[in-house]
Amino acid sequence: MDSKTEKIAAFNANGVGVANNQLFGLPFTYEESELVLFSAPWEVTVSYRAGTAKGPDAMLKASTQIDLYDNDNPNGWHNGIFTKKSSATIKKKNTEVRKKAAAHIKALEKGKSVNADELISEINTECEKMNAYVYNEATAILADGKIPALIGGDHSTPLGLIKALGEKHGGFGILQIDAHADLRDAYEGFTYSHASIMFNALQNEQVKKLVQVGVRDICDDEINLINDSNRRVVTYFNHEIKDAVFNGINWTAICRQIVEELPKKVYISFDIDGLDQRYCPNTGTPVPGGLAYEQAVYLLNEIITSGREIIGFDLVEVAPGDDEWDAIVGARMLYKMCNLALKSKTNA
């Protein structure tokens, strides 16, 4: 009996979750795990409320309260899920650079004329370093034949992961669950703004399709980009989804239509504000409306049902707040996504 099999046999999945610096209190090493979680506690360019840099640690704490039986993949945890230690360097640099970016954003909001070329250049350089960190982590995980998953931080953080996945898998599609389209070009002057993640992701030719779900806050430039994309970007706006439901179209039919837009290989980019705000009251840029938790899970399940493969994912913009409710919801969505990604690998 090998070490992993022995650990599964000895592990009490019905017991108290142990705070062992592993999400969900699981006992596996990196080598024993098929899925690896790593984090980027980074929120340098957030344009409204801060707090998402605390998301990874808050979800780690909340995750020990999750029962490991998952109705969609009951023994999914047997495949092994490993959590890499959060980077102290990224945390420290985030704190330093965020103060400078916040001062710049505050000046813009007051309508002041800002001569900030040097500052913006510095912030863009630090964001590039963060992107390189994520890319290097993801590349190493992929080289070892494991599924990479990123915990943010703000939504700027997965760009390096998306690049690494393109190099590994070739063409793939992104399913983005989000209140925002994130298609702005260098929002507020920051090339790697959290509001520019999908604009930047589309610069990678390996991203063959971007399917957005739940968008309900968007600007004219983003609408024009979508309309001019020749259906490379397909957006299911929140009001259109709700109108369809109100007119008697069931959620199953809508989900199947969404998933049919995606290629065989799928990356999931999940901004927690894609959910109704009751699930994420402390997220950085909340917008009324959005998906129910169960609607999002059903949509993710439809990817598996369709025979597609989840090649990686991120969960971003979870800001815990004082009551930690957002972290509780985030940790549970994270566990669900882990189990579905592992299930899709088994089915691939």
- Mean predicted lDDT score pLDDT of the chain: 95
What is the DSSP secondary-structure string of 45-73? Answer: T-SS---GGGHHHHHHHHGGGS-S--TTS
Domain count, the chain: 1
CB 27 within 8 A of CB 33: no
> What's the pLDDT at 348?
66
Instruction: Give the CA count within 13 Å in the CB-facing half-sphere of 154.
Output: 29
- Between 103 and 327, residue with greater pLDDT: 327
- Mean pLDDT over 141-145 rounds to 98
- Report whether pLDDT(199) > 80: yes
> What's the pLDDT at 118?
87
pLDDT digits (tens, 9 = 90+) for 71-117: 999 999 999 999 999 999 999 999 999 998 988 888 888 887 566 88
CB 164 within 8 A of CB 148: yes
Short-list 206, 252, 259, 261, CA closest to 233: 261
- Mean pLDDT over 118-123 rounds to 90
pLDDT digits (tens, 9 = 90+) for 43-74: 999 988 999 999 999 999 999 999 999 999 99
- Report whether pLDDT(1) > 70: no
CATH number assigned to the domain comprising residue 318: 3.40.800.10
pLDDT digits (tens, 9 = 90+) for 279-314: 999 999 999 999 999 999 999 999 999 999 999 999
- Report whether pLDDT(347) > 90: no
pLDDT digits (tens, 9 = 90+) for 212-271: 999 999 999 999 999 999 999 999 999 999 999 999 999 999 999 999 999 999 999 999
CB 19 within 8 A of CB 331: no
CB 269 within 8 A of CB 174: yes
- Report whether pLDDT(34) > 80: yes
Domain containing 91 equals: 3-347
- Report whether pLDDT(42) > 70: yes
pTM of the predicted model as reported, rounded to 2 decimal places: 0.96
> What's the pLDDT at 109?
84
